[in-house]
Amino acid sequence: MKKVVIASNNPGKLRELQALLRPLGLDAVAQGELGVTEAEEPHGTFLENALAKARHASRATGLPALADDSGLCVQAIGGEPGVHSAYFAGREGTREERDARNNAQLVERLRGVEDTSAFYYCVLVLVQSAEDPVPIVADGRWQGRMIDIARGKGGFGYDPYFVPAGSGFTAAELDAVDKNRVSHRAQALVALAAVVAKHRGDLASR
C-alpha cells in the first residue's frame, strides 16, 4: 500500500479523506503525525492554496502528498466565505470556536436574504514530489442552500447550516458514509482516482 501524506491538520477533513482514500489502496498519514506544520495559504484561489500545501508537505517528508483546499461559496454574498471559509470571522480560538463564530457571522450576513443558494467546493492536488511539474488536480462541487438554524451533530464547519440540493437534511444530519458518497470532497476524489487509474503506470515510474 503506497504511503501518501495528507497536507492538513483539520480533523474533520482527515477523517473524511482517510475513509475515502482507503479503498484506493493508499495509506494516508496526516502531516501532523510526521511533525509537519501547516503551510501558509495566502492565495486567492482554492487551487493555488492546495498546490502550496501539497508541495510544503511533500518537501518536509519526502513523500507524495495530497492536499485539499475547500470552502463554502454563497451566491448572495459574492461567493463568500470562499477561500476564507476557515477564518471567515477571525483566527482566534479553537477550531470549534472559530466554526461557531463563522456560522454566526454567515447567518447574520444572510438575514433577510431570500435566495440562499450555496455550494461547497473542493480541489484536490496530488504531487509525487515537492517539485512535481505535473501535479494531478481534480475538483468537486456540492450544490445546496443555507438555513439559519443549525441542525445535526455530525460533520464540521458549516455543515449544520447547509442543506444539499434534493435533500431535506443538513450535511450535519447525514450519516458519515452517506456524506462520503455525495460530498464535494467525495466528488473530487472520484475524479482524482479516475486520473490516477488512467496514468497509474506513468506515476509508478516517476
Residues with catalytic roles: 69
Vertex 193 angle, CA 18 and 195, to 5°: 145
Q: Which amino acid is at 87?
A: Y
The answer to whether the CB of 158 falls within 8 A of the CB of 106 is: yes
Do 106 and 118 touch, CB atoms closer than 8 A?
no
CB atoms within 10 A of CB 156: 17
Q: How many other CB atoms sit within 10 Å of the CB of residue 2?
A: 12
**In sequence order, which residues have a C-beta less than 8 Å from that of residue 91 and are 6 or more positions away?**
98
Burial of 204 (0-12, 13-18, 19+ CB in 10 A): exposed
